[in-house]
A and B are shown apart, each in its own frame.
Chain A
Amino acid sequence: MFGDYSLGDLGSIMVMQGFAGLILFSVFVLMALGLAIIFGQMGVINMAHGEFMILGAYMTYLTSHLCETYAPGLYAGYFFVAMMVAFIASGTLGLLVEWTLIRHLYSRPLDTLLATWGLSLIMQQAFRSTFGAREVGVELPPWMMGSLPVTSTIEVQINGLFVMGLTVLITAVVALLLYRSRWGLQVRAVVANRTMSGAAGIDTRRIDRLTFGLGCGIAGVAGSAFTMIGSTGPTAGQLYIVDTFLVVVFGGAQSLLGTIASALTISQSQSTLEFFLTGSMAKVLTLLMVIGLLMLRPQGLFVLKVRR
């Protein structure tokens, strides 16, 4: 397939293809981060993760409209406000859900699966009733659209750069929180041994609530960012949930590093295979690879060593 092309052409395509892989990697990390925190630290399988993302996307949509109507001068920067709004909305809802629903089910992990799945259906229908069944279009300020020409043949997507930057930032913040803050210390203690941490005076309920809220909040930010590259509709969350679980489970549920490594593996193989084969085949081969590796390493790529 490369016979007819000059070396320069091929080189630029390879660069852009590498960049496409990096964008996919950032997208995967961003969507998996919130779930990894909740699933990894609390053992709760949050099937409504995608819907928390879409809540963030809808908040972005609302913010853009409000900004257009009441403060058109600030339109260029509305996206940053929108991400905050998304974080607060999804996070608050997360706290509420944890308090009303999840905390009663900690000893029954399979029931949380059912309960959060039910929650996802409720949220989907709520979106549909509020915003209508059709997808909504989220407009971007002009500076975020299009691409930067690096050379005459290499172009780099601006929104791709934005997503990458955001991913790095959020990952860094989460890593800091988990490994450098008092809250993170307590979270890790609770993961290691819930009963002992309780006995040592850690308020495990409060930790759980904050963890769940933070996970949902990050999902909201991810959803907000994805309005740049994907669709915003009542059921759009379902588009992301499978890939998200794939990344988290493959990475080893309790490890931040594992999530990142797994996102890298899956995104690179997906985008490379997609280039040489077709979209459907790439998906098939990626899934086969993941299944194969999980058979060899059932705990995922990275396992946190804990005495049980």
Chain B
Amino acid sequence: MSSGQRFYPFIPSRRELLLGAAAFSAGALVAPGALAQQFPTAKVNTTGLAVTDTEVTVGILHSVTGTMAISETGSVQAEKLAIEQINAMGGVLGRKIKFIQEDGGSDWPTFAEKAKKLLVNDKVASVMGCWTSASRKAVLPVFEQYNGMLYYPTFYEGLEASKNVIYTGQEATQQIIAGLDWVQKEKGAKTFYLLGSDYIWPRTSNKIARKHIENFLKLKVLGEEYFPLGHTQFNSVINKMKLAKPDVIYAIIVGGSNVAFYKQLKAAGVDLNKQTLMTISVTEDEIDGIGGENIVGGYACMKYFQSLDNPNNKGFVSAFKKMWGEKTVIGDVTQAAYLGPWLWKLTVEKAGSFDIDKVAAASPGVEFKGAPEGYVRIHENHHLWSKTRVGRARKDGQYDLVYETAELMEPDPYPKGYQ
């Protein structure tokens, strides 16, 4: 396993240097040495973190083995890209970022143990990591006890806010509400059928969806169903839906089940160009496994799609493909993971210090104008202000953007009236 193995970021080419500079254009290209002298180590690091005159160490903590490796690989790639680009621009406070990567092995106690190792032995200045809620819940007490800083990329169910975590993905209301409003307005939807895998994220999300549909939109939920993780037979529920004839199928199915669900939906003759389907669990990554022809026409509600048409995203996508191969695709969470190192760098520079307490305190209000999804800003509750977007699946596995909120959506991890 890769435990304790040290990886040094690659030496960037001139082109990447340019891309890096394009992705982020504030105060760049100051000679690193000069900046480091301006911020002496004794001053910017008063708590004994792994910061030297030339280097600062951060941790990457994801699963690269086990079940979750499928999902977490993209996040690791995005974080390495961001670190490389930051280094190409001179690093953080004049110091190059060096990273130590640990493997959570898709096992939650392992995540906690590795988090402790990164914080206690390696004294990392921040950690980019975790993917499932279960792994985040496992490391949270470690980060709070040893006072670390975690940048967590996944959209998740909310109901959490910690001084020691920056949530770069959406909490549930940011992902759900605007999408439901859109489908009501645009598609004239009156009835919904909610589906989900049987664990906390789909259940909490569907609960919010149901409250919004019934109490705010005054529409009807015809059915709500959950399936064990790894369920592979959906013919019965597909028949049930054929009988109930909902205007919208709202699906939060994850993992291998996802593939089975869409393949069987297609085989059962449900044409997603006629039957509206909305999902919050299928990104470009998942379509790779599902097969574009099985989900073409379906709608996904996310904050980021690879196809977004803006200069930031163009630079990001081409840099990502250059580093990780032409065939890689970039999903919502991968983009959110890319934000982690950047937000940390910006926060450290705002605070003028690597100290965890100062970084945590400086976080609210930090803005990242170079985000591929567009502008983002950290809220007082350590989540991000970001837009909600609806995309429509194409046969080639990409999404066409069909709607985005005009304003940034406020993160609300403890939504009133939705619990």
Contact = CB atoms under 8 A, between A and B. Distances in A.
A16 B240 CA distance: 10
B64 A13 contact: no
B260 interface: yes
A274 B237 contact: yes
Given A128-B65, A134-B73, A136-B289, A20 B232 contact: no
B285 interface: yes
A137 B291 contact: yes
Given A155-B268, A279-B227, A233 B289 contact: yes
Nearest to B264: A229
Contacts of B25: none
A137 B268 contact: no
A279 B255 CA distance: 16
A61 to B, nearest CB: 11
Contacts of A137: 287-292
B64 A146 contact: no
B198 interface: yes
Contacts of A146: 266-267, 269
Nearest to A14: B239
A92 interface: no
A125 B256 contact: no
A291 interface: no
B233 interface: yes
Nearest to B240: A275
A306 B136 CA distance: 54
Contacts of B268: 147, 155, 157
Contacts of B198: 279-280
A197 interface: no
A158 B293 contact: no
Contacts of A230: 232, 256, 259-260, 263
Nearest to A157: B267
Interface string B221-240: 00001111011110111111
Interface in A237-288: 238-240, 270-272, 274-275, 278-280, 282-283
Interface in A193-216: none
B101 to A, nearest CB: 15
Interface of A: 5, 9, 13, 16-17, 19-20, 23-24, 27, 125, 128, 132-139, 145-147, 149, 155, 157-160, 228-236, 238-240, 270-272, 274-275, 278-280, 282-283
B29 interface: no
A137 B230 CA distance: 17
Most buried by A among B237, B258, B268, B293: B268
B231 A13 contact: no
Q: Which 5 pairs of residues, A with B, have the shortest CB-CB distance?
A: A135-B289, A231-B259, A20-B235, A279-B227, A137-B291
Interface of B: 64-67, 69-70, 73, 198, 225-228, 230-233, 235-240, 242-243, 255-260, 263-264, 266-269, 285-293
A132 B293 CA distance: 22
A228 B289 contact: no
Contact of A16 (B239, B260, B263, B290): B239
B256 A236 contact: yes
Contacts of B70: 133-135, 233-235
B232 A240 contact: yes
Nearest to B243: A13
B273 to A, nearest CB: 13
B200 to A, nearest CB: 14
Given A27-B233, A157-B267, A274-B236, A229 B65 contact: no
Contacts of B69: 128, 133, 234
B232 A233 contact: no
Contacts of A24: 233, 235
B190 to A, nearest CB: 15
Nearest to A158: B267
Contact of A271 (B227, B235, B257, B285): B235
A28 to B, nearest CB: 9
A135 B256 contact: yes
Contact of A275 (B64, B73, B239, B288): B239
Contacts of A133: 64, 69-70, 73
Contacts of B263: 159, 228-230
Most buried by A among B69, B228, B255, B292: B69
Nearest to B286: A135
A233 B264 contact: no
B107 to A, nearest CB: 13
A73 B228 CA distance: 41
A5 B245 CA distance: 11
Nearest to A16: B239
A231 B243 contact: no
Contacts of B293: 139, 145
A154 to B, nearest CB: 10
8 contacts: A9-B243, A24-B235, A137-B290, A157-B269, A233-B256, A271-B233, A279-B226, A279-B227
Contacts of A228: 263, 267
Given A230-B256, A239-B256, A134 B243 contact: no
A278 B268 CA distance: 19
